Structure 1
Amino acid sequence: MPDPKSRGRRRKLNATSYVVLGMLSYSPATSYDLKQWVANTIGNFWAFAHSQLYDEPARLVADGLVSETVEEGGRRKRTYEILPAGREALREWLADTTADQTEVRDLGLLKLFFANFGGREDLVRLAHDRHRSHKARADSYAEQRDELVDYADRWQVKTIELGIRYERCVEQFWADFIAELEEEQP
């Protein structure tokens, strides 16, 4: 049975659809612009193939949610702009419940789970690598927050603050684990 909120749309929208609609709500953009904006903002916490940002706008045009303007001559650059129906689809999505569980895909945790089959030196290296990685990312987020705080809206700043907290928490986990390993040294 079709989603009653879809109001005749041909397909169900996905997360990438809403990324594009949300970004276009700020300003019209080309697919390249979208890729750049996403890489510097939500790409920090929502990973997906950036090639999707080149395909999805055309789908949203076909759905009647976005308009497309093609540059005459030259590279025939396509600029996309959100339509009122696209803004309404975005509002409906924002109003919908968000009960999905957070997905954690951390290669370090996966390796830690199977560490029994490796050597101690591999485990120590893993702990140090992951600690450095999460510290670097938290530091980078803190720098981004400092840059954003003067011009971004408060909800964008809140997303980066959660990123900092998450990375600091995981950084501390690995620091504690390193300390455990050092106490156990033979």
Structure 2
Amino acid sequence: MEPGAARIRLTPLSYIILGLLDFAGESTPYELKTHATRTVNHFWVVQHAQFYAEPERLAGAGYLGARQEDGGRRRRFYALTDRGRDALASWLADPTTDFMELRDHGLLQLCFGAERGPLAEAQLAVHRAKLDEYLDLIAQGAPGPAGMRRVLEAGVAHEREWIRFWGEQA
């Protein structure tokens, strides 16, 4: 560990930041947010403010380098350090056994007795729109990191299953 670098626990958000920087190169927090909107936000929601706080935390621990513009808006730019690259590579090489987290407002309403017909119709519209979005992104060449097309294909399968499920509820 570099002298003065803090020991911190890396979280999924940490790996999102490391991965986005590996994909896009040096970026400002705003650019990280933009990269995430086109890529990981399709399956992992990150709050806007986290794109400002987490890179600073990672820089303090030596995973990122940071530089600030001298003039203008004085934006901060972050880039991976060797430590950050090593941490990302180690994480990518260790297959997760974590089960997916499912937080679905429609299922929550269904669980507590919402009227199935109107809920199902609303959910069908949501899932059809998301399916169309994923298919459009695939048709555009799945912009993003190397694995983005595979992630979008998983999203397509996921949405098709939800359309089947909510169709049965309708």
Corresponding residue of 2:153? 161
Compared with structure 1, are the counterparts of its residues 47 and 168 closer, same or farther at alpha carbon in structure 2 (3 Å cutoff)?
A: same
Amino acid at match of 2:18: L
Corresponding residue of 1:139? 132
- For the pair 1:37 / 2:30, whether they are aligned, the reply is no
Compared with structure 1, are the counterparts of its residues 53 and 153 closer, same or farther at alpha carbon in structure 2 (3 Å cutoff)?
A: closer
Amino acid at match of 2:168: D
- For the pair 1:53 / 2:45, whether they are aligned, the reply is no
Following the alignment from structure 1 to structure 2, what is the Cα–Cα distance between the partners of residues 167 and 175?
12
Following the alignment from structure 1 to structure 2, what is the Cα–Cα distance between the partners of residues 48 and 23?
13
Larger radius of gyration: 1
Instruction: Determine which structure has the larger helix proportion and give its number.
Output: 1
Contact 2:106–2:119 (8 Å) recurs in 1: yes
Residues 3-22 of structure 1 correspond to what in structure 2 (within 5 A)? Answer: 10-22=7-19
Amino acid at match of 2:121: H
Compared with structure 1, are the counterparts of its residues 15 and 148 closer, same or farther at alpha carbon in structure 2 (3 Å cutoff)?
A: same
**TM-score, length-scaled by structure 1:** 0.84
The percentage of counterpart residues that share the same residue type is 36
Runs of 5+ unmatched residues, structure 2: none
Give the SS at the match of 1:133. helix
Where relative contact order (Cα < 8 A, 6+ residues apart) is larger, the structure is 2
Q: Deviations over 1:120-175 (max 9, x none)?
A: xx3311010001111110111100111125x6565210001100110111011111
Following the alignment from structure 2 to structure 1, what is the Cα–Cα distance between the partners of residues 51 and 132?
28
Contact 2:63–2:82 (8 Å) recurs in 1: yes
Aligned residues: 165
